[in-house]
Structure 1
Amino acid sequence: MTPAIDTRALRKDYGRRTAVRDMNLTVETGCVYGLIGPNGAGKTTTLRMLLDIIRPTSGEVRVLGRAPRAGGPKLRRRIGYVPGELRLEGRATGRDLLRHYAEISGPVEPGAAEELAERLDLDLARQVRTLSKGNKQKLGLVQAFLHRPELLVLDEPTSGLDPLVQREFLQLVREAREAGQTVLLSSHVLSEIQQAADRVAVLSEGDVVAEGSVSELRLTAIRHLRGRVDAESAPGLRSSLLALPALREVEVAEDGRFSGVLDSEPNALLKVLAGYRVQDIVIEEPDLEESVLALYGQEDDRG
């Protein structure tokens, strides 16, 4: 099956500054793919090149099997897009604006706009210019999902939304995947990526520094360790734990309570603890946020 998105050595330069650096990215059809990274990592620039809003300096890109530049309006009608900086103004009501979008994008099921608006708690009778930032963002989401496009490109889509609406948005993303749609989701809200994405690319300074499933990326993350041994073992345990190169921030109390941060799989740690009377131990599941921060740190060290 042809990938929904495929880039080869995609690059974008602005004078001497490189925003996207020879990016190779493949998004399979029917999956939710997350792009994460800090501001300036190249996420928005990448999305804009996919949609032919800006042109790459070099490299190749295919979206739904077509080059964006050659695909024209026919290709764009197969895509739903929420930009990172959504600007909606005017005296038209939300309902009128969505009616206009429906005429441009193609067939829309009767009542689709009203159903989406109700799920996102959006009043379509209000003029767009009177809407808050959060309600404008809801309107942008409705227009993107409205015609059930083959591909959804969502750049920081939950900016300004309250937690309940964010949860409903994530449900919409899951339903889109179940319907066979592809979703490319750019976000700095890592919990969204953890809950929604099948695969993730981590961007830093225009480079993909890691790519894989959420579970694979979580394996690279640090783990928080805490536990307790009998008090008599505490002095010896401290020296044993300090000898482990993958364990840092080691603390051992007189009563035998201990904690630390583990940078690798726990095999070596468990071998050490096997020599003590362990009363309690918890090794917390790694968090994607810490994984990402660790990857950035590795990238910085290489630079």
Structure 2
Amino acid sequence: MIVVLVEVSPAGEAVETSREALTMARELSAAGGGVPIDAVVVGEPAEGLVPALASYGVRRVHALTGGAYDAFAGAAWAAGLLHVRERSGAVVVMAAGTSRGNEVLAHVAARSGVPMAANVLSFGGLSPFTVTRQVVGGAALEEMQLGQRPAVFTVAGHAVQAAPADAPGAGELVVETPDVAPADLVARVVSTDEPEPDLSGTLKSAKVVVGAGRGAGSADGFAEILELTDLLGASLGVSRVVTSLGWRPHHEQVGQTGSRISPDLYIPCGISGAIQHWAGCSSAKAILAINTDPDAPMVTKATHAVIGDLHEVIPAVNEEIRRRRAG
């Protein structure tokens, strides 16, 4: 059996990266002869969550409830996940490669005495079970054998496209309250500050993202970039240096330590394309780079490029968009 930890949004829906993990789990299940897939969620499921997970082929949804699960605690979530795994005899434990998914499964692997593979892109043979994963911020790929059981790994964001199953699973709900040791609650979330609202949309799911880097020049240099973002109905994504300088909030950062995006079009403006940033945007279907340096890594990797100062190029693009819409 395969167990997948599913993260749930504040709206009570499975987040996209967890749906991607379920999609890969279904592919793994088919390769293994159709072994069942169970999902684990934390807290009482919102209305509609269980049938939504069933549409991804989930046989059973285990809801971990009780005071120990009211706030995130990586070790506590791992204890609950191991409780489900041990009772079910699952041979694979999976999660999305988010900060929480990686933390929880690291605990699971350590307590099970097995290795963990983070940010898996695909799997190969089943005997021995082999996975390919991203390393060095996505600059290299590593093939790794997970010969021990359970096999524990997380799925890199956008490694697969989330898709419902041809035939839904049973979607049986099982509410459980596993015991959690006090030591598992030592490190836990005690408060949460809401981020500044992302007025240009949800970055990770955006179809078009306009990026901005050091080339913006200053916090005041984003006017034309924000206008382009608005004209395209896009989301704004920035490089790490922009957030480090305090020009834009961290939740807009794209990269290894920010969001991993997979838009139809990414327009990085004044971004050199350091390996950490490339790790977050390499899944874009098309990239149109705007940069003064024709040899910048982002320019050489882009689908198309405009060589020029973004403060000259973008206003011209904005004017042309407005002109065409007015006509």
TM-score (ref. length: structure 2): 0.26
Q: Which has the larger radius of gyration?
A: 1
Higher RCO, Cα 8 Å, sep 6+: 1
